[in-house]
Amino acid sequence: MYVTASISRGNGSSMTASTTINKGDRLLHQNVLGSRRFSNYCWATIVTLGASGFLLAGISSYLKVNLLIVSDPTQLVFVPQGLVMGLYGTAGLLLATYLWLVILWDVGGGYNEFDQETGTIKIFRWGFPGKNRRIEIDGRIEDVQSVRITVKEGLNPLRALYLRIKGRRDIPLTRVGQPLSLTELETEGAKLARFLGVSLEGL
């Protein structure tokens, strides 16, 4: 999975959101979308609102003061109804906090960079806070053997691009979470293989 892997220490994988080729078509830069996806924002918002409602319902049941607009939970018996709703709300807010933090940290986000001028490859990803927050993988273009497409259908579909390196495990290049369309996957794979001058496998 790694070429020459170096993990930088800092405080502070996978398809690309955009691709840029410049420097006389000798530098290929691919931005990789991480946790800051629209679907993640939606889920975090839904969980936050739902959990807040449950928690306020539980508190309203205990205080006998209506803290909600859409209903009157003061009619609930605190034990067990109000207590259970409060526990659900607390658990939901903990989950929502985790989702918002993952979005804030942009876990999985980063870029792939292939420089023909220097013959180097750089794969960068943001991780969770800690010593491995910045994940950087460096290698040489001359060691690249092929670009591989992996497609698995089913309940947990997988559609991803991998970089096959001589003597190393394959490096994932595309985003995690949301599978790409087959057309987009093939287009990006062919573009990268053509830029690196290697074959495209898996079609």
**pLDDT-derived band at 138, boundaries 50, 70, 90:** very high
Please write the tens of the pLDDT for every residue from 45-72.
999 999 999 999 999 999 999 999 888 8
The CA-based angle 151-190-165, given to 5 degrees, is 75
> Per DSSP, what are the bridge partners of residue 112?
30, 123
Q: Could you report the per-residue pLDDT of 2-26, keeping only the tens digit for each?
A: 333 333 434 443 444 455 555 458 8
Q: What is the DSSP string of the chain?
A: --SEEEEE-------EEEEEEETTTTEEEEEE--S--HHHHHHHHHHHHHHHHHHHHHHHHHHT----SS--GGGS-IIIIIHHHHHHHHHHHHHHHHHHHHHHHTTT-EEEEEETTTTEEEEEEE-SSSTTSEEEEEEEGGGEEEEEEEEE-SSS-EEEEEEEETTSPPEE-SPSSSPPPHHHHHHHHHHHHHHHT-EEE--
- Residue-range domains of the chain with CATH: 40-105 (no CATH), 110-201 (2.30.29)
The pLDDT score that the predictor gives to residue 22 is: 55
d(CA 170, CA 156): 21
